[in-house]
A and B are shown apart, each in its own frame.
Chain A
């Protein structure tokens, strides 16, 4: 190990200890030293993750590996209690429910809930070298049901409904040219701007769809329409990029507030 690594480690450990003791001494509560340790740990992990921006280092690796382990177990405990104990067991039998101290939910078709258990066990057959093919059945079930569900849902929401919402009148409140020119203005609710916007929407949707056309060569007028399509797509992506920036910065402010208020108590 390099000398600097050892020195850095010593300094960080010392700072951790100092923070722990200081937080423990000045925190009120039933277990101040535990609380002090936890806040210091949280701050240490926050800084360890942020240090990744400089470069990969042992502290980031530590936080990353800890994060992976803890979060995987957290998801498992949560899933076990909420799905297996909370949802499945109360429907299986009153005996098992009593054992797990949850209340049995009576139903006429509860025996059907043994099927997902069988599917689940088939899935676990993957671990055996010879029964692996059985694990495809539960996968087939999951993929089949969701494919059927998505097929009709998206056909309705992204196909039929989109046709009706693309149909916009291009001539709004049209009362002849004289009326149009005498009322000409550039306000957002004015006739000109509204008509122009509707035209842009219509052309935008059409050209956008043309851009996603795969089985025809994008040349000639078709190519030009497709080019307009990708331009409009890019403008949209830019706008949505710009829109997100402020939200992201406020997240950072939140973390910095934690460090300076909850840990260092410099600001209140």
Chain B
């Protein structure tokens, strides 16, 4: 009952402020005549000409691109144009819905305790006073009813806009400084937002040239145009080609490798050191600490690290050394347990696997660091391996490990952290070397094949860059560079 009452109140408020909005709307529509009537000395600028508009291509809809010819008075004379104002015609229904949307946003702010920004005496303020009388539970109900109402009414927008120019008003959209010749009106796709632009509904625009005195003249009305979403983003065609290029390259080399082609890989210091380090740990009777970093299982660096962990765990199981894997992310923990468990199984020592080899510490960066530091000082691991994503904590970890006298091997793709690892660790895999490392450790032809594909892609980059640099000296070179521009 209360809810219905409240909807009535909302409607009342809506109606009262609707009069206010109507005033505005008529003002906007007839402003040219008004200003000339009051101040006769003001000379109107020439209107912008040739207003055209299209649906914004390669997007999800709800957006249009407008373009126009500059007003002849743009940048000249006393009645020089200061700015352009863009207006959009909306049917009466949209105005009505907007009022409900306004009350919705006020309710939302009350529910989130963010009403402090509302200025006294405005329409929002009076709504606030009304709504604050209700309890939270009631407000939730009112909100849901209003949302359903807005959703229902929105379906009639396309039809309502057919009535142009009857039953509607011009709404201000945006303003642009003089000299601007185009504007992209990006509407909201959220039907609850006031900036909502319906797809497949007739839209009408006009652009006003405004002088410093406030005199305006309007362009011819553009419309009707309609917006819609597309099913293929043509801007991204270069990406399609490179996906094909790279995928085919990889598949080709993987097949070659399977056939038994001899693929050379240059030695990587950090990787060769892993085996020695495990041997050293065994001799000293001390554990090996493997840190997967702060990445989640969604980070490719962490996935590369899992593969390396698998190799390390297998060696560790063979040598019967102890392995410690404290983790930061619970999903990473789950995966790492799986990896280590099956590595022990592969090594034929499933009995040696302990559930707490891989354990969760905490999902807080520095608490994790504090705990790992503790492990380094108390368990005194012979070797620390850091592979994955690292942030500010990289230096704390690596320095503590170095002070504790462990051999340290690191690898990360966080460029900002590489210097710290280089300084404090014995071996560091820089960037891509981390990804290559998994292929190295396995020496599996399939993985090595994809390394070959990566190298060919690099050669392609160098080649394209050389061609580009030569062409850049000439005017027509720009077309070549444009091939590699991917707009959004």
Chains A, B in direct contact (C-beta < 8 Å): yes
Q: Does B43 reach chain A (CB closer than 8 Å)? A: no
At the interface, yes or no: A170 with Cβ under 8 Å from chain B? yes
What is the bound-complex CA distance between A241 and B419, given in angstroms?
6
C-alpha gap A60/B371 in the complex (Å) = 10
B465 and A68 within 8 A (CB): no
Which parts of A157-187 form the interface with B (CB within 8 Å)? Answer: 159-164, 166-171, 174
Query: Which B residues are in CB contact (< 8 Å) with A106?
Result: 144, 147-148, 151
Which one, A104, A139, A143, A218, contacts B266 given CB within 8 A?
A218
B413 to chain A, nearest CB (A): 11
A1 interface residue per 8 A CB criterion: no
In the bound complex, how far is the Cα of B148 from the Cα of A237, in angstroms?
Answer: 57
Question: Chain A residues near B436 (CB, 8 Å)?
Answer: 214
Chain A min CB distance to B117 (Å): 21
A215: interface (CB < 8 Å): yes
Interface string of B445-472 (1 = CB under 8 A from A): 0001001101101100110111011011
A255 within 8 A of B: no
Whether B481 sits at the interface, judged by CB under 8 Å, is yes
Chain B residues whose CB sits within 8 angstroms of the CB of A151 once the complex forms = 243
Contact A206-B246, Cβ < 8 Å, known A64-B371, A68-B361: no
Contact with B238, one of A72, A160, A214, A240 (Cβ below 8 angstroms):
A160
Interface flags, A127-168, vs B, CB<8A=1, else 0: 000000001100100110111001110011001111110111
Residues of chain A contacted by B143 (CB below 8 angstroms): 103
How far, in angstroms, from A171 to B472 measured CA to CA in the complex?
A: 9
Q: CA separation between A64 and B326, bound complex, in Å?
A: 14
A63 to B370, CA, bound (A): 9
Interchain CA distance A244-B361 in the complex, whole Å: 28
Q: Which of A75, A94, A101 contacts B362 (CB 8 A)?
A: A75
Indicate whether A74 reaches chain B with its CB closer than 8 angstroms: yes
Looking at the complex, which one of B239, B451, B465, B484 makes contact with A152 (CB distance below 8 Å)? B239
Q: Residue among A126, A164, A209, A215 with the most chain B CB within 10 A?
A: A215
Tell me whether B472 and A169 are in contact (CB under 8 A): yes
Q: Is B364 an interface residue (CB 8 A)?
A: yes
Judge whether A202 is part of the interface by a CB distance below 8 angstroms. Answer: yes
Shortest Cβ gap from B435 to chain A (Å):
10
Residues in B whose Cβ lies below 8 Å from that of A47: none
CA distance A152 to B297 in the complex (A): 18
How many positions in chain A have a CB within 8 Å of any CB in the partner chain? Answer: 67
Most buried by B among A74, A167, A212: A167
Provide the main secondary structure of the chain A interface. helix
Query: B364 near A238 (CB under 8 angstroms)?
Result: no
* 9-residue interface stretch from B75-83, B217-225, B312-320, B331-339: B331-339
Complex Cα–Cα for A64 and B366 (A): 10
Q: Which of B147, B264, B423, B469 contacts A217 (CB 8 A)?
A: B264
Please pick, from B144, B331, B366, B461, the residue contacting A142 in the complex, using a CB distance under 8 A: B331
Chain B interface category by residue count:
35 or more
Taken together as a complex, chains A and B put the C-alpha atoms of A152 and B422 apart, in Å, by 30
User: Cβ of B441 < 8 Å from any Cβ of A?
Assistant: no
In the complex, chain B residues whose CB is within 8 Å of the CB of A212: 431-433, 458
Asked whether A156 and B239 contact (CB < 8 A) given A72-B362, A147-B300, A217-B264, the answer is yes
**Which residues from A are CB-within-8-Å of B416?**
240, 244
Of B21-29, B373-381, B382-390, the one touching chain A: B373-381
Q: Determine if A233 is an interface residue (Cβ-Cβ < 8 Å).
A: yes
| Contact, CB under 8 Å: A143 / B265 | no
Bound state CA distance, A95 and B218, in angstroms?
53
**A169-B469, A215-B265 as given contacts; A241 in contact with B361, CB under 8 Å:** no
A50 to B422 Cα, complex, angstroms: 25
Residue in A closest to B136 when the chains form the complex, CB atoms: A101
Contact B378 A56 (CB under 8 A): yes
Which chain B residue shows the least CB distance to A147?
B300
Smallest Cβ-Cβ distance to B404: which chain A residue: A56
Contact B454 A103 (CB under 8 A): no
**Interface presence of B111 (CB below 8 A):** yes
Select from chain B the residue with minimum beta-carbon distance to A60. B374
Chain A nearest Cβ from B404, distance in angstroms: 10
Give Cα A135 to B360, complex, Å: 17
Residue from A61, A101, A202 within 8 A of B465 (CB atoms): A202
Cβ A103 vs Cβ B246 within 8 A: no
A85 contacts across to B, CB distance below 8 A: none
**Do B370 and A49 touch (CB < 8 A)?**
yes
How many angstroms between the C-alpha atoms of A72 and B454 in the bound complex? Answer: 40
Q: Are B363 and A71 in contact (CB under 8 A)?
A: yes
Q: Which residues of B contact A234 (CB under 8 A)?
A: 422
- Docked Cα-Cα span, A123 to B136, in Å, equals 36
- Are A103 and B140 CB-contacts (below 8 A) given A214-B451, A237-B422? yes
- Chain B residues whose C-beta falls within 8 Å of the C-beta of A241 in the assembled complex: 419-420, 423
Asked if B298 CB lies within 8 Å of chain A CBs, one says yes
A152 to B243, CA, bound (A): 7
Residues on B with C-beta less than 8 A from A152 are 239, 243
The 6 A-B residue pairs with the shortest CB-CB distance, nearest first, are A167-B468, A71-B364, A146-B298, A164-B484, A237-B419, A71-B367
Q: Chain B: residues with CB nearer than 8 A to chain A?
A: 111, 136-137, 140, 143-144, 147-148, 151, 236, 238-239, 242-243, 246, 263-266, 297-300, 303, 331, 334-335, 337-338, 360-364, 366-367, 370-371, 373-374, 377-378, 415-416, 418-420, 422-423, 430-433, 436, 448, 451-452, 454-455, 457-458, 461-462, 464-466, 468-469, 471-473, 480-481, 484-486
Some 15 contacts from A to B, beta carbons below 8 A apart, are: A56-B374, A56-B377, A70-B367, A103-B143, A139-B338, A151-B243, A160-B238, A163-B464, A166-B465, A167-B480, A171-B473, A209-B461, A214-B266, A214-B455, A215-B265
| Additional A-B contact list (10), CB under 8 Å, known A142-B297, A155-B246 | A63-B370, A75-B364, A139-B331, A139-B334, A146-B299, A159-B246, A160-B484, A167-B471, A213-B458, A215-B265
